Amino acid sequence: MRDQRVWREVNRRNRDWLRPWEATIPPPTPSGPIVHRPTYRQMVRHLRSEANAGRMLPFVIEYQGRLVGQLTVAGITWGSMCSGHVGYWVDESVAGRGVMPTAVALVVDHCFRTVGLHRIEVCIRPENRPSRRVVEKLGFREEGLRPRYLHIDGAWRDHLVFALTAEEVPDGLLGRWHRARAQATPPAKPQNTQGNPA
């Protein structure tokens, strides 16, 4: 509850950046209930309740000491499936700095190594290039298309499904992500302190 002011400010500042990708509430059917977007307090209560029931793992993302996003493992199913799906958003001001791939990698490792899940899915609109880059960088496997999967930005939208199982990252996803980043970064050129060409 203490994060309300900061969370609202980050959300407000990123309204245009997030709107095309955020879940929306579909219009009510003639026989269905009218559902309203939850208040911040209702959202936190719901996240806590689902977490206490073992169906969700809600997180905030911090970067350099400030709240910059949110990541939730939802739809956790036990028994013969041991699966969950990840949803996330990040402040546009830190996008492209590796914040979200790092957060997803940390959470996937926690889910596989500590929580005991076997499979993690991420469902992303095909048009959402920044989110797709996150899972591509981390090596998630693309499994196919779910037509009209979620109500987003006022309509039912198709989503691509990406997944990983615990066997695919035996040494951890964060370690794999760090190795991939290190390989992608060109080595620094040696500095010649004599002022001559190196």
Note the pLDDT tens digit of each residue in 23-71.
Answer: 888 887 666 666 667 899 999 999 999 999 999 999 999 999 999 999 9
> Which residue's entry shows tokens 């980043």?
181
Q: For residue 20, what are the CA distances in angstroms to 10, 13, 27, 45, 128?
A: 16, 15, 17, 26, 9
pLDDT confidence of residue 30: 64
| pTM, full prediction | 0.88
For the residues 178-187, what does the mean pLDDT come to? Answer: 83
Q: Which of 21, 110, 6, 108 is nearest to 62 (CA)?
A: 6
Mean pLDDT of 182-195: 65
Residue 196 has pLDDT above 50, yes or no: no
pLDDT digits (tens, 9 = 90+) for 121-170: 999 999 999 999 999 999 999 999 999 999 998 899 999 999 999 999 99
